[in-house]
């Protein structure tokens, strides 16, 4: 955990590489809560291999040319899901290594992170989401294995790869909803616009998880209105925002202590 004051004073605090579970929304929201700029390369549906080999149609900037010239403190990577199959067929370990090494050209002490996500949830009235929650649990060792392998091969000076446990956060959020802790919510599906993509409120929660990991500080007390490129995102309900912040902080603290939901 690096502490918010340790971000580069005049530089980019984070760079995201990912797909539609990053979207421009997540880096824009993270940009609103960190002191420095946040940039991104987004290609919907793309594994890290494609992000590396064919980024001409990416949203944001082209990481392969941009990263060596722009020091970033935090490099946030995520892989296409399902993560186990993608890791097997698209050399996730190899491309995580390439992206970290590239970022290290700009900042030899870059801090890499792996954003843990989730698969599509079952849809339909009365359909249980427990298999979806269990899949998140089952996929965690894959994410952890990717992070551990990258850490093992990191060059000197590069920090160990940390997991940003957003998938675990979804489990914690559902547990909190079931316990009646989350005002205005009856199911985790309230935070999704389809079977896999979060609403703005869902991305707000994921942003709080990122903030907690990237800074090592509690997100409790952050604004419930975050600015985006074209103006503010919809305000999170006044009673709900602090609860989402608390659950995000609990998620990260428990994850880093080795507790799993």
| Domain spans of the chain, in order of start | 4-162+214-234
> If DSSP codes are grouped into helix, strand and coil, which group holds residue 164?
strand
8 pLDDT more than 60: no
> If DSSP codes are grouped into helix, strand and coil, which group holds residue 61?
coil
Listed in sequence order, the DSSP H helices in 197-240 are 200-215
9 pLDDT more than 70: no
pLDDT digits (tens, 9 = 90+) for 129-178: 999 999 999 999 999 999 999 999 999 999 999 999 999 999 999 999 99
Nearest to 111 by CA among 54, 163, 36: 163
Give the per-residue pLDDT at 161.
98
Structure tokens at 57: 């149609």
Residues of the chain above pLDDT 90, percent: 91
Residues of the chain above pLDDT 70, percent: 95
Beta-sheet strands, E only, within 123-214:
162-164
pLDDT digits (tens, 9 = 90+) for 174-224: 999 999 999 999 999 999 999 999 999 999 999 999 999 999 999 999 999
Give the per-residue pLDDT at 1.
45
Torsion of CA 26, 32, 35, 39, to 10 degrees: 40
State in words which class domain 4-162+214-234 has: alpha beta
- How many DSSP H helices and E strands does the chain contain? 9, 8
């Amino acid at each position: 955990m690096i502490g918010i004051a340790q971000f580069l004073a005049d530089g980019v605090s984070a760079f995201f590489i990912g797909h539609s579970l990053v979207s421009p929304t997540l880096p824009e929201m993270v940009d609103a809560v960190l002191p420095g700029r946040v940039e991104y390369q987004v290609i919907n549906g793309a594994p890290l291999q494609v992000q590396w080999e064919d980024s001409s149609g990416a949203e944001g900037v082209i990481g392969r040319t941009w990263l060596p010239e722009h020091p970033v403190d935090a490099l946030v990577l995520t892989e296409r899901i399902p993560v186990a199959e993608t890791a097997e067929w698209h050399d996730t370990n190899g491309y995580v290594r390439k992206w970290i090494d590239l970022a290290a050209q700009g900042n030899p002490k870059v801090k890499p992170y792996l954003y843990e996500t989730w698969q599509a949830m079952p849809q339909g009235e009365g359909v249980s989401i427990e298999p979806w929650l269990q899949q998140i649990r089952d996929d965690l060792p894959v994410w952890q294995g990717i992070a551990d392998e990258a850490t093992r091969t990191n060059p000197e000076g590069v920090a160990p790869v940390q997991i940003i446990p957003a998938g675990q956060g979804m489990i914690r959020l559902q547990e909190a909803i079931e316990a009646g802790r989350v005002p205005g919510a009856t199911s985790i599906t309230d935070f999704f616009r389809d079977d896999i993509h979060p609403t703005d409120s869902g991305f707000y929660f994921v942003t709080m998880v990122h903030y907690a990991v990237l800074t090592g500080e509690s997100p409790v007390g952050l604004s419930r209105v975050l600015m985006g490129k074209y103006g503010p995102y919809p305000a999170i309900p006044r009673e709900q925002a602090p609860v989402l912040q608390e659950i995000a902080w609990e998620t990260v603290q428990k994850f880093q202590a080795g507790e799993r939901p």
